[in-house]
Structure 1
Amino acid sequence: MAPVSNNVVGIDDDQRFALMKFRRSVRDVLKPEHNDHFLLRWLRARQWNPEAAEKMLRDSMKWREKWGVDTTLATWTPPSVLEQHFPSGSTGFDKEGSPLIIVPFVGLDVWGLLHSVTRTDIIRLVLVHLENYLTLARKQAQTHGPTALKVTVLFDLEGFSMRQYAWKPAAEMVFTMLQIYEANYPEILKICYIVNAPKVFSLAFNVIKKFMHEYTISKIRIYGSDSKKWQAQVLTMVDKDQLPQHYGGSMVDENGDPRCSSIVKPGGKVPKKYYARNMQNEAKKEYTKVTVKTGDKHCVDLLCADGDSVLRWEFGVEGHDIKFSIKRRDQDGNETVVHEPRKVSEGPPDVGVLSVSGPATYSVIFDNKNSFLRSKKVYYDVIISVPERDLNMSDEPEDLEAASAVAAS
């Protein structure tokens, strides 16, 4: 493949000097396809600091070696259950020639997949897809220019539920993949449309965006379920003949499916027959149970000592409903409502997360003051944690970690 032109425009003299210095310092690790457009990604990610960009690139090269990205990854065969049940695909390109990636997120059964395959398997499949899209983007750039070197993404959150991501292994996988992406694939995102996002997603996004670079956040556009609004925006970037009918385009697959499910894999619930990982030893969740009397309320006070922390809740009410809210009280006693009161009715547990900061006390309130006839039975599990401290976010492949442990024993 011929390299994309090195004719970089839109940078000033200081930036061009930084590029020249950076190129010279990393020439021993560069490959033929690593042109100036490639180098600019790392420089921009480190605010044009050549030394910081060099460290970032060299660290990434070591990471690629650990994961076999440039060697064994291309010949790796993913488990069939993962191939069948991982939702994603591409129906074409945006107007500038960049690959269009579509992810019907509701089809990602994290619980089922992590009971059937390893976290490393899932990450490897994501890396395979990502590397394939970037290879395709480089090919597109031969005819469309450097604007095709990035990717356009459409995340469909129709049917999104927070509950499975409150499960610790699922949260660990999400945060690990975010860290891997930001450390090793800087500035590859042209734009990301997140559509059909429920209100609860804003809580999750406020947590996960702390692990994102400002550049990534700036490229994300979040829309609710009003398809007229988001379809019009998507169509400014993507022609109708490159987009499934379901998303406002004109494409159907060979089966006439407006979602193009034969091209964009929908994923889906993993049958239990695939569950190969014995997780029977997982501790059954222990809820605290209380009865909130008529005209009364129950408060759970949680101390937040660290800056960037996460308050996670899971609760339910047995019969009828109860009002739920969260307040924050700082060291000076100033109190603010950080999660507006809302009624939660009997049914599946209500699950959510909230980005919190300290030092402060957060009060989770179950309010039954408006009920004059019935006491309410509530079960709950609430906790404040620090993701970097409390979650396993190692970017080491699990099979490599296991091999290292054996060698050390």
Structure 2
Amino acid sequence: RTLTPLGSSAHPDNEDWTCFEQSASLDIKSFFGFESTVEKIAMKQYASSIKKGKEIIEFYLNQLEEEGITQVPRWSPSLDGPSVAVKPVYKLDADYIKRYLGDLTPLQESCLIRLRQWLQESHKGKIPKDEHILRFLRARDFNMDKARETMCQSLTWRKQHQVDHLLETWTSPRVLSDYYTGGWHHHDKEGRPLYILRLGQMDTKGLVRALGEESLLRHVLSINEEGLRRCEENTKVFGRPISCWTCLVDLEGLNMRHLWRPGVKALLRIIEVVEANYPETLGRLLILRAPRVFPVLWTLVSPFIDENTRKKFLIYAGNDYQGPGGLVDYIDKEIIPDFLGGDCMCDVPEGGLVPKSLYRTAEELENDDIRLWTETIYQSASIFKGAPHEVVIEIIDAASVITWDFDVCKGDVVFHIYHSKRAPQPPARKDPPGGPHGSITTPGGNNVQLIDRSWTLGLDYSMVESPLTCREGESVQGSHVTRWPGFYILQWRFHNMPGSSSTNLPRVDDVLASLQVSSHKCKVMYYTEVIGSEDFRGSMTSLESSHSGFSQLSHATSSSNNSQSSSMISR
């Protein structure tokens, strides 16, 4: 084992910060079959050494602080005189932070910059705003790895279900306009948008029977998207960062009918989706006029609510909200709704029972839920070790453009593009009892293999693009100009980590990644489209005018309109 001493360097994004690095390499040739165990013991020992090194650094930093030294001038080699401080190349502007993000410590600012930089490298073309990134960092106490994992999952979810366009595409059914007892109402004393929900007056059973779970979820998502938009507007109006809203829930009228099991199930599903994709958007939740049945409902739903979110709940029973420490502490008196004893008229629907004539059958609701769930241009696929996922595209005219856009949701994959003159056929398997003949051999329902194992690379089919290794969390877009007609096969293959018998030592990132891979399964979400040769004339204009907004071509393809193959892949 070799251990590299602790080294330091200026942070690439802010030279006011110092990065400390320490690395180690471990090469176990043979240890009687216990190589893996020895490796784990050594890694554990190394982690302990790192911890001790950190304690030593913190000790000397505390010593400097006790001596009143809070800043040390940066050393700079100079032949003419003493060292001079160098102005940072880049960091977030202090006025920008104060105006739009709020107070950030140097460590929090560093986390934001590093996570944003990682997104720029792996998610080109769809970088969320700093406010959005901060919400995930704050929700995970600025733990970079946890925040990156949850945010990548959320970005993939938003992309799959077109959530970014929800406010423009979603139209609430009439039954929601009439019987959903919620709506926006001015703002609280801190300038946060205020949403009022008269849950006690809502016929949850009627709404579920008339609309289904997915329509209710889609409506709640539109409310959250509207809340984000209002936060941006209020930030401009009040001149200070407003990143969350206040929700007022009136429970007058809540009774046992609200504990109808399918309704509670729909509520739990909504809470789960909102918690995962809209962290730190709820600033405060005021629960008013909680009846005796409320503890039962709270017992059912509270385990599904994040602990940090639960701390923002204020619960008032009866009319306790009218006194000191009540509603007037958070909402200006002149905008308290009339049904809560105020003078302000509130446009939130009063609700009532949904007519049974609007109820739909279980089959109708199921079909509608399936339509909403599958209403996306993206498909999901699982990739297993030894079982890649493949998509075949038939090209009639050469110089057509194959475009792709995929996200690596789990694991690491290798992306290939092949060409064949004959159509690949799914391998047949023996009929299962009562099952159809000719099913695709696959260990998973959404895994498709098309290239026959008897095919020989270079003879039956050829590779037309260099393999691209894609890491978990990356988003990849690209295009390929076809050179010949025939069948093009897009393949996602499980990425095998370097073996321990290799003469070259694996990178630390690869070792850590290999430890995280479970059950030898990866997952991708993808979309492909072909732009016909009649619509493509070798210019980027033709691509920008097509439906594939993510597709672009390299300069090599924009200079000529011949049949040469060219592509561009971006991550």
TM-score range, shorter chain: 0.5 to 0.7
1:239 aligns with 2:211: no
Give the CA deviation at 1:24.
1.3
SS in 2 for 1:160: coil
Equivalences, count: 281
Question: Counterpart in 2 of 1:50?
Answer: 144
Match of 1:275 in 2: 359
Confirm whether residue 117 of structure 1 aligns to residue 89 of structure 2: no
Deviation at 1:100, TM superposition (A): 0.8
Change in CA separation of 1:147 and 1:224 when aligned onto 2, cut-off 3 Å? farther
Is the 2:321–2:327 Cα contact (8 Å) retained in structure 1? no
Paired letter, 2:339: H
1:88 is the counterpart of 2:60: no
Q: CA deviation at 1:242?
A: 2.2
- The residue correspondences of 1:179-328 to structure 2 (distance < 5 A) are 179-229=272-322, 232-252=325-345, 260=346, 263-278=347-362
Distance of 1:228 and 1:117 partners within structure 2: 34
Q: In the aligned structure 2, how far is the partner of 1:397 from the partner of 1:55?
A: 28
Give the Å deviation of 1:41: 1.1
Q: Distance in 1 between matches of 2:292 and 2:275?
A: 26
* Matches for 1:143-158 after TM superposition, within 5 Å: 143-158=237-252
Q: Is the 8 A contact 2:182 2:197 kept in 1?
A: yes
Matched, 1:399 2:371: yes
State the partner residue of 1:26: 119
The share of aligned pairs that are identical, in percent, is 29
Change (3 A) 1:269 1:9: closer
Asked whether the 8 Å contact 2:193–2:227 carries over to 1, the reply is: yes
Post-superposition CA distance 1:289-327 (Å, at most 9, x none):
xxxxxxxxxxxxxxxxxxxxxxxxxxxxxxxxxxxxxxx
Q: Does 1:175 align with 2:268?
A: yes
How far is the alpha carbon of 1:214 from its aligned partner?
1.5
Change (3 A) 1:141 1:125: same
Question: How high is the TM-score relative to the length of structure 1?
Answer: 0.62
Q: How far apart, CA to CA, are the structure 1 residues paired with 2:167 and 2:241?
A: 27
The letter for the 2-side match of 1:6 is I
Structure 1 residue aligned with 2:159: 65
Cα shift at 1:68:
2.0
Contact in 1 for aligned 2:102/2:241 (Cα 8 Å): no
| CA apart distance, 1:213 | 1.1
3-state SS of 1:101 partner: strand
**Change in 2 beyond 3 A, CA 1:56/1:144:** same
**Which residue number in structure 1 is paired with residue 108 of structure 2?**
15
Alpha-carbon distance in 1 for matches of 2:275, 2:311 = 14
1 CA distance for matches of 2:280 and 2:240? Answer: 13
1:17 deviates by 2.0
Change (3 A) 1:51 1:161: same
1:391 corresponds to: none
Question: Cα distance, 1:180 vs. partner?
Answer: 0.7
Residues 120-139 of structure 1 correspond to what in structure 2 (within 5 A)?
120-139=214-233
Q: TM-score, with normalisation over the residues of structure 2?
A: 0.45
Query: What is the letter of the counterpart of residue 398 of structure 1?
Result: I
Q: CA 1:88/1:401 → structure 2, altered by over 3 Å: closer, same or farther? A: closer
Structure number with greater CO (CA < 8 Å, separation at least 6) is: 1
Amino acid at match of 1:21: R
1:165-222 Cα shifts (integer Å, max 9, x gaps): 242x212211111101110010111111001111221232133111111121010001
Counterpart in the other structure of 1:75: 169
Report how far residue 277 of structure 1 moved.
2.4
Write the deviation string for residues 5-32 of structure 1: whole angstroms up to 9, x where unpaired: 4334533332222222212112354889
**Secondary structure of residue in 1 paired with 2:172:** coil
Question: How far apart in 2 are the matches of 1:83 and 1:201?
Answer: 26
| RMSD, matched Cα | 3.1
**Contact 1:155/1:193, CA 8 A, preserved across alignment:** yes
- The whole-number CA distance in structure 1 between the counterparts of 2:185 and 2:244 is 16
1:71-117 per-residue CA deviation (whole Å, 9 max, x = no partner) reads: 25522222211221111112211122211111111222121112111
Post-superposition offset of 1:163: 3.2
Distance (whole Å) between structure 2 residues aligned to residue 202 and residue 56 of structure 1? 31
Q: Which moved more, 1:15-24 or 1:152-161?
A: 15-24
Residues 1:41 and 1:146: Cα distance change in structure 2 (over 3 Å): farther
Cα deviation code 1:247-300 (max 9, x no counterpart): 243213xxxxxxx2xx111222100111122489xxxxxxxxxxxxxxxxxxxx
Equivalent position SS for 1:148: coil
Supply the AA of the counterpart residue of 1:39: I
Gaps of 5+ in 1: 253-259, 281-395
CA drift of 1:144 comes to: 1.6
Instruction: Give the secondary structure class of the aligned counterpart of 2:302.
Output: helix
1:146 deviates by 4.3
| Kept after mapping to 1: 8 A contact 2:291/2:317 | yes
The answer to whether the 8 A contact 1:22-1:51 is kept is no
Counterpart of 1:219, as a letter, is K
Distance 1:89 1:231 in 2: 26
- Per mean C-alpha deviation after superposition, the further-off stretch among 227-236 and 67-76 is 227-236
